[in-house]
Structure 1
Amino acid sequence: MKKLKQLFFIPLLSMALFSCQPAVKAPATTTHIPEWTKNSVLYEVNIRQYTPEGTFKAFEAHLPRLKELGVDILWIMPIHPISEKNRKGSLGSYYAVKDYTAINPEFGTLQDFNNLVNKAHEMGFKVIIDWVANHTGWDNRWITEHPEWYTQDSTGAIIPPNPDWSDIADLNFDSKPMRRAMIDAMDYWVINTDIDGFRCDVAWGIPQDFWEAATASLDSIKPVYMLAEDEDHPALLEKAFESNYAWKLHHTLNEVAQGKKTAADIQKYYTDSVNKYAPGSFPMQFITNHDENSWQGTEYERMGDAVKTFAALTFTMEGIPLLYSGQEAGLHKRLLFFEKDTINWSNLNMQKFYQSLISLKKNNAALWNGSAGGPMVFAETSAPQNVLAFSREKEKNQVLAVFNLSPNPVEASIQILQAGEYQDYFTGEIKTLEKGSAIKLDKWGYQVLVRK
């Protein structure tokens, strides 16, 4: 859902300090992390815009290509019927839910959705769906059957969460019966369609104890992956969620691309934000998603010539990477949010690039997610405003990543932690590096080196 307030992402507790020492870990918590998330890559599916038909059945034909791409977890944007009352545009927002236990007829039937989930599972994918617990559409039956489940003004009128979200009605989480009904609805989809988790919209606007109760109920059915649209409530990661959004870092990347910030700001961001994450939990890293694309512009508008650079950075830093529908096709348009606006798949000009990044992540345990991977340890450089360098190590796998985050060529010395032979993952070139070795990089250039 489009954010109306600034959220502040707090990175993994294992992020390193300027001193090149791993961060001190936060107190242990009890977050349950499904094993299958350890090296996964997320893919956000916009069913309406994915095909001319805009249906589950039509999207199913793309599964073989997505399998070849290498993504693992399909996050499907809300699948429920959209309210007609106070609707925005002709088709409305997916996030104005009319019925939590029904399928949007625009996309197909419940059987069509089950077929999609079953086919995805057969091919090795996991499937999570978007869940909108903060509010409903205005013709959701809860409004007439249980008006006490909603936030009301002094006159008793049900109100939206804020004036800009006029197509939705705010739920009141002081209501225990409403909480129970919401959890029952979430359980329904796991029990009846065998989905593998939820991306939870406006997670920051809902009490932590609700999410903890919901996750406990879901995990009693099967282990699920829970992704929170949040970044400034890290306690949500203790018992309710495995991941949240790296919003503040994403905004920093945009500003670096636009010359408003530097590589040093990225490193400072990490060093200022350590010790906040529950052990094993991890953020979602991205250069685009449905909110950014529709409301803030494509990655090409925001990052220009640096798109590939920042994409590579999101695949090498700590966290689970996200690709959005059309990203592998070099999507250069802002998709309409309330109308039909089909993605053009005629030129998959970024598919091989993202295949290579996914292969890099999966083939190097140091780059895996959460405690399955290694912590980022920054290396000093002779050009800290322009060059970001860090290593990650897990068991015997060590990866050194060096990025020129400027529009000019640069040569910088890197105080690497371990001298020796490294292989450039993308070119195959073998390099012998010593502490203080100089590395030349083109504008927005980068090297990802695996120690031999």
Structure 2
Amino acid sequence: MKKIAITILALTLLWSCKDNKQADESLNMEATATDSLPPVSDAMMENAVIYEANIRQYSPEGTFNAFTKDIPQLKKLGVKVLWVMPIYPISMKRRKATGDKSIEDITDPQEKKKYLGSYYAISDYTAVNPDLGTKEDFAKLVKTAHENGMYVILDWVANHTGWDHKWITEHPEYYQKNAKGEVTDPLNPETGEPWGWTDVAHLDYANKKVYEPMKNEMLYWVKEQNVDGFRCDVADNVPTEFWEWARPQLEEGKPLFMLMESNKEYLLKKAFDMAYGWDAHHLMNEIAQGKKNVTAWDSLMVSQANKYERDDIFMNFITNHDENAWNGSEYERLGADAVKTFAALTYTMPGMPLIYTGQEYGNEHRLKFFEKDVIKHDHDDMFAFYEKLGKLKNDNIALNGGKNPAGYDRIDASDMKNVLAFTREKDGQKVYYIANLSKNDVRFTLPLEGEYTDYISGGKVSFTAGQKWEAAPWQYWILTK
């Protein structure tokens, strides 16, 4: 996205409801007075780490305040973008209880209480889920994040609402309908078949009357709550025209950072800054499971270079809320011995690395999606590991991965099927990633000579011409020179 530099908007309240206007105005005046974080910029994107915050599962309390107190800890991980999963009230009607049952199928009142529903079934876009806290608590989270050098982006669900949303009754014309004239749950735009998201109602952007109210709901959080952008759910199921129309208006006061849950290259032209690195993620899983090898990785890098522009950004990840809940933790999918290898790859390859709630503590289980579940905070080894990677990402321009990224050059190893070796370089700075991406011991040579620093261990590594190297399964090095 080629942004036009714009000055920060003095926050004003244009359409908050009358009863809340004075309280919201007080919050915003306080935020403006104390907020010294520079606006979103291309430079910020170059060396950032993004953190996905699942407030419900982060702590036993599951509240904004319980999360906010740990924001200084996240700063140690090099986090510069804080993506907060949906914080809005969740619809009760047709609320998901399990994968195949809704809340209406549960008869026991006590049993019903434990089903909290999907974060993505929203009943009110401009309110907060009382289970998480208050708007004042959220304002404190944003302020604390800004004070710690982090930009806050909210998870936004423009494709559908919960069945309790007031638009269902007040504006049924906003929704897609079946042949009987009934509002439908979301349909796959390619096949017309339901996705199975029965707890939400599908908005119809063929009716452009949806555009203005949806944009205004987003603008509320920018103007009145000082957020710095959005992560947009199933972004390619919403018309590109809407995103390209809405973004300039959302940015009238300050530049924003826009992440899409998609990897469609056309959405990066005017609407979004960063795409999901789905292809790399799936390929990492397949390599770890022995289904593919490094030659597939090389092919992916070539195809992406041909398909995307140089200033397109990918979010790199080994896990996120969907992968963890539905496909298993990174320990299940990659295997315990390979987790650090692929995590290191997400930091050294072009793009921006993601840490999902619990990843920094070595969370090994699938967090429940519709119920309360809590991560453990007791894996110091993994926290230190991500802290070290975050520092390298933040400080070494050879890992720049934004609009003006460092180069990516493949190093020819004697075993190109199992050994991934590449260098990233910018302005004379170099970082090397070398890994055995297989479950077998390998021997190989590399066209490197001289002495390097093993960044993770701090030791020295020397290369001589024709030197044979041995690597255990999933062994890797990050080298600096």
Shared fold (TM-score greater than 0.5)? yes
Residue 123 of structure 2 corresponds to which residue in structure 1? 98
Residue 112 of structure 1 corresponds to which residue in structure 2? 137
Residue 102 of structure 2 corresponds to which residue in structure 1? none
Q: Name the SS for the 1:273 alignment partner.
A: helix
Q: Which has the higher contact order (CA 8 A, sep 6+)?
A: 1
Aligned counterpart in structure 2 of residue 288 of structure 1, from 309, 315, 319: 319
Residue 326 of structure 1 corresponds to which residue in structure 2? 358
Rounded to whole Å, the distance in 1 between the matches of 2:380 and 2:245 is 42
Partners of 2:45 and 2:403 within 8 A in 1: no
Match for 2:478: what amino acid? V
Residue 8 of structure 2 corresponds to which residue in structure 1? none
Q: Name the SS for the 1:178 alignment partner.
A: helix
Rounded to whole Å, the distance in 2 between the matches of 1:197 and 1:34 is 14
Residue 140 of structure 1 corresponds to which residue in structure 2? 165
Match for 1:396: what amino acid? G
Q: Name the SS for the 1:236 alignment partner.
A: helix
Aligned residue runs from structure 1 range 359-378, under 5 A: 359-378=391-410
Shift of the alpha carbon at 1:432?
A: 4.3
Aligned counterpart in structure 2 of residue 424 of structure 1, from 454, 464, 467: 454
% of aligned pairs identical? Answer: 49
Match for 2:56: what amino acid? R
Q: Name the SS for the 1:72 alignment partner.
A: strand
Match for 1:331: what amino acid? N
Partners of 1:414 and 1:437 within 8 A in 2: yes
Shift of the alpha carbon at 1:269?
A: 1.4
Aligned counterpart in structure 1 of residue 369 of structure 2, from 323, 337, 344: 337
Residue 184 of structure 2 corresponds to which residue in structure 1? 159
Aligned residue runs from structure 1 range 301-450, under 5 A: 301-304=332-335, 305-416=337-448, 419-433=449-463, 437-450=467-480
Match for 1:146: what amino acid? H
Residue 271 of structure 1 corresponds to which residue in structure 2? 302
Q: Name the SS for the 1:127 alignment partner.
A: strand
Rounded to whole Å, the distance in 2 between the matches of 1:175 and 1:437 is 66
> 5+ residue gaps in structure 1?
1-28
Instruction: Name the count of aligned residue pairs.
Output: 420
Rounded to whole Å, the distance in 2 between the matches of 1:106 and 1:428 is 45
Partners of 2:128 and 2:135 within 8 A in 1: yes
Partners of 1:42 and 1:72 within 8 A in 2: yes
Q: Name the SS for the 2:445 alignment partner.
A: strand
Shift of the alpha carbon at 1:384?
A: 1.0
Rounded to whole Å, the distance in 2 between the matches of 1:435 and 1:40 is 36
Rounded to whole Å, the distance in 2 between the matches of 1:78 and 1:150 is 21
Rounded to whole Å, the distance in 1 between the matches of 2:393 and 2:78 is 10
Rounded to whole Å, the distance in 2 between the matches of 1:307 and 1:118 is 33
Partners of 1:31 and 1:278 within 8 A in 2: no
Q: Name the SS for the 1:284 alignment partner.
A: strand
Q: Name the SS for the 1:239 alignment partner.
A: coil
Residue 30 of structure 1 corresponds to which residue in structure 2? 2
Rounded to whole Å, the distance in 1 between the matches of 2:425 and 2:270 is 27
Partners of 1:255 and 1:261 within 8 A in 2: yes
Residue 196 of structure 1 corresponds to which residue in structure 2? 228
Shift of the alpha carbon at 1:345?
A: 1.5
> 5+ residue gaps in structure 2?
5-40, 98-114, 188-193
Partners of 1:31 and 1:238 within 8 A in 2: no
Shift of the alpha carbon at 1:30?
A: 3.5
Partners of 1:410 and 1:442 within 8 A in 2: yes
Partners of 1:365 and 1:372 within 8 A in 2: no
Rounded to whole Å, the distance in 1 between the matches of 2:237 and 2:151 is 27
Rounded to whole Å, the distance in 2 between the matches of 1:306 and 1:358 is 19
Partners of 1:31 and 1:237 within 8 A in 2: no
Instruction: Tell me which structure has the larger Cα radius of gyration.
Output: 2
Judged with a 3 Å threshold, the aligned counterparts in structure 2 of structure 1 residues 312 and 95 are, in CA distance, closer, same or farther, namely same
Q: Which moved further from structure 2: 421-430 or 96-105?
A: 421-430
Residue 237 of structure 1 corresponds to which residue in structure 2? 268
Residue 329 of structure 2 corresponds to which residue in structure 1? 298
Partners of 1:31 and 1:242 within 8 A in 2: no
TM-score, reference length from structure 1: 0.90
Partners of 1:82 and 1:98 within 8 A in 2: yes
The alignment yields a C-alpha RMSD, in angstroms, of 1.6
In the alignment, is residue 131 of structure 1 matched against residue 161 of structure 2? no
Rounded to whole Å, the distance in 1 between the matches of 2:395 and 2:466 is 27
Q: Which moved further from structure 2: 63-72 or 393-402?
A: 63-72
Aligned counterpart in structure 2 of residue 177 of structure 1, from 209, 228, 239: 209
